[in-house]
Chains A and B, each alone.
Chain A
Amino acid sequence: MERMTFFEKELSRINRVIYKNQGQIDAIVAVRDYIDCKYETKLNLNLLSKIHFISKYHLLRLFKRYYGITPRQYLIDKRIEKSKENLGNGMSVTETCFAVGFESLGSFSVLFKTKTGKTPAQFRREQLSRSN
C-alpha cells in the first residue's frame, strides 16, 4: 500500500466532514440528471420537488449547497449551452429558443447575450461563417 499524500488525506477528511450523507447526495444528483434530460420541458421547483419527494425549499437549499448554484440557474446554463449547439448546427434563432425550452424570444435573446456576450443571431452567424 502506497502512502497517502497530504492531498488525499485532506480530501478524505473533508469527505467525512461535509459529504457524509450519501443518500442526500444521490437525491440531488438525481435532480440534476432530471434537469439534464428534461431541460426543454416546463421545469420548475414545484415539479422537481414533487417528482423527487423533497420539499421545495429543502431541494433548493441542498442543490445550492452541493452544486453552488440554484436549480433555476443550472437550468438556464444548460439551455444556453444547448442553444449554442443548436445555433452552431444551423438551427434558426426562433426554433432554437423553443427547442431548448424558453418561452419568449425576447428573454432568450437577453439571457443569451448576458451569458455569452453575443446575441443568438450574431453567435449563429459567426459559427456558420467559421464552418464554411
Chain B
Amino acid sequence: MKVTLIGIPVRDQEKALRFYTEKLGFIKKLDTPLEGGNRWLTLVSKEAQDGPELLLEPAPNHFEPSKVYQDALMEAGIPYTQFDVDDVQQEYDRLIELGVEFSMKPTQMGVVKVAVFNDTCGNNIQLVENL
C-alpha cells in the first residue's frame, strides 16, 4: 500500500483551487468533472510534483457531519492538516503580504516551528519547519 492522496474538505472547490494555487503555490494536477458540478480536483506541491496529491473535496456541502466536524475544528483553531516549509517566518511574511489570515503567529514547539492560517474554505492549516 502507498499513501498518495490527502483529502481536504472545502466549501467551494473553485475558490479553494484559486487560494491553493495562487496564494499557496500548489499546482493543479487532476480536474475531472463529476456529477452535479462537483470535481475530482487534485493538486501537487511545486517542489515535489511526484509527491502525494491534495484532494479538494466538497464533502461539507453534501455530508452534514463533515460540515459539523470542520466547523468545530475551525472554532477551536485546530489545523485540519499541515504543510512543510523551509522557513515558517519567511512563509508567514509572504502570506501576510498576500492578505492571508493567521490565527497563530510563528511559534516554536520543541524542535519545530509552527504557524496556523485560515484557508478561506473552512480550514485552519498549519505550516511546519523542522529546526
* Interface flag for B76 (CB, 8 Å): yes
A6 in contact with B111 (CB, 8 Å):
no
Q: Which of B75, B76, B78, B111 is close to A25, meaning CB atoms less than 8 Å apart?
A: B111
| CB under 8 Å from chain B, chain A span 1-22 | 5-8, 11, 14-15, 18-19
Give CA–CA (A66, B130) in the complex, Å.
11
B110 in contact with A66 (CB, 8 Å):
yes
A7 in contact with B78 (CB, 8 Å):
yes
B111 in contact with A66 (CB, 8 Å):
yes
* Interface flag for B60 (CB, 8 Å): no
Question: How many B residues have CB within 8 A of the partner chain?
Answer: 17
B109 in contact with A6 (CB, 8 Å):
no
Count of A-B contacts judged by CB separation below 8 Å: 43
B100 to chain A: closest CB distance in Å?
Answer: 16
Give CA–CA (A66, B77) in the complex, Å.
24
Q: Which of A5, A15, A28, A29 is close to B109, meaning CB atoms less than 8 Å apart?
A: A15
Interface of A (DSSP majority class)? helix
Give CA–CA (A18, B111) in the complex, Å.
11
A5 in contact with B103 (CB, 8 Å):
yes
Extra contacts, 11 of them, besides A6-B75, A8-B103, A28-B111 (Cβ < 8 A), are A5-B76, A5-B104, A7-B79, A7-B103, A7-B116, A11-B107, A14-B109, A15-B110, A18-B110, A32-B130, A67-B111
Q: List 10 A-B contacts (CB under 8 A).
A: A5-B76, A6-B75, A7-B78, A7-B103, A11-B114, A15-B109, A19-B108, A28-B111, A32-B130, A67-B111
A-side residues, CB < 8 A to B, are: 5-8, 11, 14-15, 18-19, 25, 28-29, 32, 66-67
B-side residues, CB < 8 A to A, are: 75-79, 103-104, 107-111, 114, 116, 124, 130-131
- Across the A-B interface, the 7 shortest Cβ-Cβ residue pairs: A5-B77, A7-B77, A6-B76, A19-B110, A66-B111, A7-B78, A29-B131
